[in-house]
Amino acid sequence: MRDVAIIGIGQTEVGEHWETSLRHLALRALQGAMQDAGVTQVDAIYVGNMLSGELAGQEHVGALVADFAGLRGVEAFKVEAACGSGAAALRMGYMAVASGLVNLVAVVGVEKMTDALGPDTTSALALAADGEYEAAQGVTFVALNAMLMRRYMYEYGYSHQDFAPFAVNAHRNGVNNPYAMFRFPITPERFATAPMICDPINLLDSSPICDGAAAVVLAPAEAARALSTKPVRIAASAVGTDTLAIHDRRDPLVLDGAILSTRRAYEQAGVGPQDIDLFELHDAFSIMAVLSLEAAGFAERGRGLRLALEGEIGISGRIPVSTMGGLKARGHPVGATGVYQVVEVVQQLRGEAGANQVPDARLGMAQNIGGSGATVITHILERME
Amino acid sequence: MRDVAIIGIGQTEVGEHWETSLRHLALRALQGAMQDAGVTQVDAIYVGNMLSGELAGQEHVGALVADFAGLRGVEAFKVEAACGSGAAALRMGYMAVASGLVNLVAVVGVEKMTDALGPDTTSALALAADGEYEAAQGVTFVALNAMLMRRYMYEYGYSHQDFAPFAVNAHRNGVNNPYAMFRFPITPERFATAPMICDPINLLDSSPICDGAAAVVLAPAEAARALSTKPVRIAASAVGTDTLAIHDRRDPLVLDGAILSTRRAYEQAGVGPQDIDLFELHDAFSIMAVLSLEAAGFAERGRGLRLALEGEIGISGRIPVSTMGGLKARGHPVGATGVYQVVEVVQQLRGEAGANQVPDARLGMAQNIGGSGATVITHILERME
């Protein structure tokens, strides 16, 4: 097995791109990554995307993106794992390069959620849940997370306001990210009075519906030095799954898929949570950030929220999260998110995170979650000295 | 890079499964393949599927299938490349085992097209075409193929009736396949009078809308002997792409994606068309079978139809195609088809094809096509002596 490195990154601004189609978004991110890598050709393109068929009227986006980028002929597929699609595509690219079958791979995450055809976006997002046991009963994705949040509050005695530090931290970091959708700070007071979406989840607990694309270029690590001045090694790539339906789980407040995924990643990289300098977690909702911190070993059960309350999730905290705004402030174009997370970890490891730079970041982790924890994909990235 | 072998196969009957859901179909095929391989656990499951979101109200089928099969926790994704999704998932499984990252992989192709929610199936299938330049203009998938067929007839002076041998051959072979949807022979006369769907494509030029699932289990070739009495080696796995929109191609009658895909496969396996004992081609429409034969090097341009007219595509012909009924008679549950093709090649190489056995088959090729030739995935399989 060959070691694999990231030699280029690209991204579009996350937002409402009413004038830009799915293929144009993908193109911009892909061209950015290839330019950053200094390559004009790749051997394969794997596209992470969840809802192109339902919302943009287009399946078969692998070959579409390849052709639209002037790379007609190269291997190309779409990979889907709900909101985990982006990291799933990276996992596929990683395996392709690791196998020796292909050398240069582009991984593109793209989602176009505004300007939607067909069903409304909330119904489309519910396709990530169990269709027969959850979605068909009328439970939306926000509602599932709301039930988890309420249960967490009840079980461990927290108030809704205790979750404020996640939104405050994400928005603070989003201010300095030119690609973020929300570039304004918020106060705990604003959090307290935000409109309710699905009690107890309010507008500031929730990531936005938006459009965006991000991309990375992968190469064998041995060749990466010649191609890039700042290559980043993929020290681990691991996946864990769980039931789609929350009622089928051992315990609704324990993300077994995330526990499996991070344990496998730590083993592959030969590290533990204490070695991780920053953690791009999947804060689609505040409650998911909390459960992820616990599953990944940064806090005991019921104590994930405490880390935030104690100020340990900021840039200079014990475990910085959402360092470029996270899903909450950078935005969450679902199938693209996993690639955005990895792009941001690369920015940190390269020392290119500007005002949000985590000092001397050497090891960063990105964790992308599909559904309410049914697919969890973890990548640990390492600065190549 | 490790060599990879297929150690188990499974499939459901193709047909209208009104009483069986998507997850149940996938389960039956997966259990069949695992039983055939004699394994009770796998490390990863890759699901080939095109339209679960649009027609079955369910995305995120990777984790769903893993859990439903009692394999909660294992790595799982969905791979999509329109009608080429099944072979795309196999390609992913092949890379995963080849890389050394995982050992036992299950590849499941599944599609549920009857009992559809949401848009009608014809609109959903059009998502394989270019959404902006083809589908949005009202061109269905059959219509695109009808234009290709008419152009072929005009360019090379064939009549519609000249295409009859493809349907006759497929139906003849389907009779002996217990998993085939159509198990009755047809005559050239019946072909001549079949109802027109989209001139010149009639009902017998066209594969049916149906449900089904097929699966294979992969293992490192070095371990395959210990696990299976009849392992089959994947001698080549290759992909070629082209534009989605037909008008953008160099020549509408030349499948450049298929030329690339087969050339890469021949190179990897170190063989040529003359070495192939049977060819499971993508006969979604008769015209696609013709163009595939030409692109894969079995006939010169404009002469693919001649092979059929000369009786060379039958079981004892120069290049047997659709040996278990093909997409035409076995059926074409779109995202499952690529895996069905591979299952059937394995049956041939194991000598388990019954009345349809190609004598002493040693090397078989399966070619799965997404869209009207935009994604072409070719696998060459070899009997392990």
Here the CATH number for the domain that contains residue B309 is 3.40.47.10
Could you tell me the pLDDT band of residue B385, with boundaries at 50, 70 and 90? Answer: confident
The verdict on residue B184 lying in a domain is: yes
What is the predicted pLDDT for the residue at A120? 86
Could you tell me if B150 and B268 lie in one domain? Answer: yes
Tens of pLDDT, residue by residue over B196-221, are: 999 999 999 999 999 999 999 999 99
What is the predicted pLDDT for the residue at A119? 66
The verdict on residue A355 lying in a domain is: yes
Tell me: pLDDT of A38 over 90: yes
Is residue B332 part of the annotated active site? The answer reads yes
Q: The domain containing residue B62 runs over which residues?
A: 4-120+209-227
What is the predicted pLDDT for the residue at B119? 66
Question: What secondary structure letter does DSSP report for A290?
Answer: H
Nearest residue on chain A to B375, judged by CA atoms? A63
Could you tell me the pLDDT band of residue B86, with boundaries at 50, 70 and 90? Answer: very high
- Alpha carbon separation from B356 to B18, B193, B351, B360 (Å, rounded): 29, 27, 10, 12
Taking the CB of residue A228, how many other CB atoms lie within 10 A of it?
21
What gap in Å lies between CA A371 and CA A83, rounded to an integer?
6
- Alpha carbon separation from B226 to B39, B156, B179, B294 (Å, rounded): 12, 52, 29, 39
Nearest residue on chain B to A119, judged by CA atoms? B118
Question: Does B374 contact A63 at a Cβ distance shorter than 8 Å?
Answer: yes
Q: Is B269 on the interface with A (CB under 8 A)?
A: no
Closest CA–CA distance from residue A47 to any residue of chain B (Å): 10
The verdict on residue A126 lying in a domain is: no
What gap in Å lies between CA B29 and CA B13, rounded to an integer?
10
The verdict on residue B54 lying in a domain is: yes
- Alpha carbon separation from B183 to A291, B205, B347 (Å, rounded): 53, 16, 18
What is the predicted pLDDT for the residue at A362? 98
Could you tell me if B218 and B306 lie in one domain? Answer: no
Rounded average pLDDT over A145-155: 98
Question: Does B60 contact A260 at a Cβ distance shorter than 8 Å?
Answer: no
The verdict on residue A157 lying in a domain is: yes
Could you tell me if B89 and B176 lie in one domain? Answer: no
What is the predicted pLDDT for the residue at A210? 97
pLDDT mean across residues, chain B: 97
Could you tell me if B218 and B247 lie in one domain? Answer: no
Question: What secondary structure letter does DSSP report for B94?
Answer: H
What gap in Å lies between CA A282 and CA A344, rounded to an integer?
13
Tens of pLDDT, residue by residue over A225-267, are: 999 989 999 999 999 999 999 999 999 999 999 999 999 999 9
Token pair of B123 as six digits: 């609109």
Could you tell me if B368 and B289 lie in one domain? Answer: yes
Q: Is B267 on the interface with A (CB under 8 A)?
A: no
Could you tell me the pLDDT band of residue B116, with boundaries at 50, 70 and 90? Answer: confident
Nearest residue on chain B to A77, judged by CA atoms? B81
CA angle B276/B282/B285 to nearest 5° reads 135
What is the predicted pLDDT for the residue at A188? 98
Tens of pLDDT, residue by residue over A161-175, are: 999 999 999 999 999
Could you tell me if B86 and B179 lie in one domain? Answer: no
Q: Which among A60, A80, A94, A260 is the top mutation candidate for probing chain B, defined by the most B β-carbons within 10 Å of its own β-carbon?
A: A60
Is residue B282 part of the annotated active site? The answer reads no
The verdict on residue A197 lying in a domain is: yes
Could you tell me if B243 and B273 lie in one domain? Answer: yes
Q: Is B239 on the interface with A (CB under 8 A)?
A: yes
Question: How many domains are there within chain A?
Answer: 2
Could you tell me if A268 and A222 lie in one domain? Answer: no
Tell me: pLDDT of A32 over 80: yes
Tell me: pLDDT of A201 over 90: yes
Q: What percent of chain A has pLDDT over 90?
A: 97
Nearest to A77 among B1, B58, B88 (CB): B88
What is the predicted pLDDT for the residue at A118? 61
- Alpha carbon separation from A354 to A174, A363, B165, B172 (Å, rounded): 12, 17, 67, 68
Q: What percent of chain B has pLDDT over 70?
A: 99
Q: What is the DSSP string of A305-359?
A: HHHHHTTTTSTTSSS-BSTT-HHHHT---HHHHHHHHHHHHHHHHHT--GGGPPT
Tell me: pLDDT of A220 over 70: yes
The verdict on residue B87 lying in a domain is: yes
Tens of pLDDT, residue by residue over B261-290, are: 999 999 999 999 999 999 999 999 999 999
Q: Is A221 on the interface with B (CB under 8 A)?
A: no
Q: Is A108 on the interface with B (CB under 8 A)?
A: no
Could you tell me if A68 and A215 lie in one domain? Answer: yes
Q: Is B220 on the interface with A (CB under 8 A)?
A: no
Tens of pLDDT, residue by residue over A85-110, are: 999 999 999 999 999 999 999 999 99
Q: What percent of chain B has pLDDT over 90?
A: 97
Closest CA–CA distance from residue B303 to any residue of chain A (Å): 24
What gap in Å lies between CA A78 and CA A85, rounded to an integer?
9
Tell me: pLDDT of B51 over 70: yes
Decide: helix, strand or coil at residue A154. Answer: helix
Tens of pLDDT, residue by residue over B316-371, are: 999 999 999 999 999 999 999 999 999 999 999 999 999 999 999 999 999 999 99
Tell me which of A17, A83, A171, A198 is the catalytic residue.
A83
| Window 116-135 of A, Cβ < 8 Å to B | 118-119, 124, 127-132, 135
Rounded average pLDDT over B37-44: 98
- Alpha carbon separation from A238 to A5, A258, A333 (Å, rounded): 16, 10, 22
Strands (E), chain B: 4-11, 44-48, 75-80, 105-112, 196-198, 201-202, 211-220, 232-241, 278-280, 363-370, 375-383
The verdict on residue B34 lying in a domain is: yes
Tens of pLDDT, residue by residue over B149-159, are: 999 999 999 99
What gap in Å lies between CA A270 and CA A143, rounded to an integer?
38
Q: Which among B21, B46, B52, B77 is the top mutation candidate for probing chain A, defined by the most A β-carbons within 10 Å of its own β-carbon?
A: B77
Read off the pTM. 0.98
Could you tell me if A104 and A162 lie in one domain? Answer: no
Could you tell me if A350 and A366 lie in one domain? Answer: yes
Radius of gyration of chain A (CA): 19
What is the predicted pLDDT for the residue at A191? 98
What is the predicted pLDDT for the residue at B120? 86
Q: How many CB pairs under 8 A join A and B?
A: 213
Contact predicate A261/A238, CB 8 Å: yes
Could you tell me if A194 and A302 lie in one domain? Answer: yes
